[in-house]
Amino acid sequence: MEVINNLQDNLDLIRMEILNDNLVIFPTETVYGLGANALSERAVNKIFEVKTRALNNPLIVHLKDKSEITKYAYISNDVEQKLIDNFMPGPFTLILKKKDIIPSCVSAGLDTVGIRIPIDDIAHEFLEGVGVPIAAPSANISSRPSGTKVLDIKGEFENKVNYIIDGGESKIGLESTVVKVIDNIPTILRPGFITYEDIKSLIGSCNISNHVLNMVKDNEHVESPGILYRHYAPKTKCLLVYSSDLNKLKELINNNKTKKTIILGSNKLNDINCYKYLNYGNTVSQIAHNIFSKLRECDKLNGDLIIIEGVKKEGLGLAIMNRLIRTSNFNYIEL
Ligand code: TXA
Ligand code: MG
């Protein structure tokens, strides 16, 4: 795999790679994407193959600007229009009714398609340069933490993808907020940097899908198929713990730690006696930025358990907890 450091000088090469139905890994403000020409079934199928992704899990289509949206999807009401006007371009994906030009493998057979317009400069240059819409999931093998820096991603896709465009560390570090308007009310299917509070104050109402924090029960209807799968997970077993009371939090950790427990948390836990301690940042934006890379780092430390400090489920904290609950496979204690 070749790392492209200067996209401007290599745009022709990258354009040809995409138009030849090959995959290119590119940076965005959220996480890196594993991109293919969204209009080519052959190219899109390669994403599912290389990522070992379930075929019923739809992909997001990335566009260069807002004027492109109605080429590929229908804007059906004022709420959708308002969300587009306010949150795009940015770390926001809107599920819209799809037009036929998008192959059904992109949307996994659904009649909707997720549309996202990244705000990152290099992502924009890439999308403008290739001239086609780009279907892209996060750049990680299915079930693993999403890729937020070139070094974390490279090993996973070596010999499978020819080019990765280097954009440094992803600024936000968590995937986009995924929203679908249902009966005129925006519904968050996956929380992200654009928060419940942001959407509610714009539209006046906002729902959060049950599955953001809860496990899917048998036979339950799922709006967002991505939620069905094990996700964001290191190889080492994880336990997520949360308490707003520091003494209780420490007690929880001490009662559950093993001989080789790695603690992944903020500064306030750095004095607990354990096998290894890793700081993941001390504010929610630092935690979002670092979390996926730190989880990968934990895997290299040869521990037998990772105890992860949870955060309050508000603002960006809701997105962090949505990911960490899945990281720990619902192995979660709150006191
Ligand atoms: O920030 C992001 O969104 C990153 C970057 C690369 O843009 N992409 C990303 O893609 O996270 P992926 O494939 O890892 O996650 C897409 C999520 C999945 O949970 C999927 O089920 C949901 O969006 N999704 C996509 N299309 C959908 C649709 N038509 N209806 C409901 N959910 C959809
Ligand atoms: Mg993903």
| pLDDT score of 107 | 96
Domain range summary for the chain, segments of one domain joined by +: 2-212, 238-334
Structural contact between residues 1 and 159, judged by C-beta atoms closer than 8 angstroms:
yes
* Separation between Cα atoms, residue 14 and residue 128, nearest integer Å: 12
Please, what sign has the CA dihedral across residues 209, 58, 109, 217? Answer: negative
To the nearest whole percent, how much of the chain has pLDDT over 70? 100
195 lines ligand 1 (CB under 6 A): no
| pLDDT score of 225 | 76
Q: Supply the CATH classification number for the domain 2-212.
A: 3.90.870.10
Mean pLDDT of 133-143: 95
| pLDDT score of 307 | 98
Mean pLDDT of 64-70: 98
Beta strands in 137-260 (DSSP E): 163-165, 177-182, 185-190, 207-208, 238-242
Query: What pLDDT, in 10s, does the model give residues 165-191?
Result: 999 999 999 999 999 999 999 999 999
Decide which of 3.40.50.11030, 2.120.10.30, 1.10.1670.10, 3.40.50.300 is the CATH code for 238-334: 3.40.50.11030
**Burial status of residue 77 (CB atoms within 10 A of its CB: 0-12, 13-18, 19 or more):** exposed
| pLDDT score of 228 | 74
Question: For residue 193, what is the DSSP state?
Answer: S
Beta strands in 14-111 (DSSP E): 24-26, 33-37, 60-62, 73-74, 92-98
Within a 10 A sphere around the Cβ of 182, how many other Cβ atoms?
14
* Separation between Cα atoms, residue 319 and residue 285, nearest integer Å: 11
| pLDDT score of 223 | 83
Ligand 2 midpoint to CA 137 (Å): 6
β-pair partners for 35: 24
The pTM assigned to this predicted structure is 0.96
Ligand 1 midpoint to CA 60 (Å): 5
Check pLDDT > 80 for residue 193.
yes
User: CB neighbours of 321 closer than 8 A, spacing ≥ 6?
Assistant: 213, 242, 310, 311, 313
Atom of ligand 1 nearest to the CA of 114: 26
Which of 113, 224, 230, 292 has the most ligand 1 atoms within 8 A of CB, as the residue to mutate? 224
Strands 238-242 and 305-309: parallel
Query: What pLDDT, in 10s, does the model give residues 210-260?
Result: 989 988 887 788 887 777 777 888 899 999 999 999 999 999 999 999 999
Please, what sign has the CA dihedral across residues 47, 319, 72, 7? Answer: negative
Query: What pLDDT, in 10s, does the model give residues 260-302?
Result: 999 999 999 999 999 999 999 999 999 999 999 999 999 999 9
Ligand 1 midpoint to CA 119 (Å): 17
Question: For residue 326, what is the DSSP state?
Answer: H
| pLDDT score of 306 | 97
User: CB neighbours of 172 closer than 8 A, spacing ≥ 6?
Assistant: 29, 30, 31, 91, 192, 193, 285, 288, 289
| pLDDT score of 189 | 96
| pLDDT score of 226 | 74
* Separation between Cα atoms, residue 241 and residue 331, nearest integer Å: 9
Find tokens 């600007």 and name the residue: 65
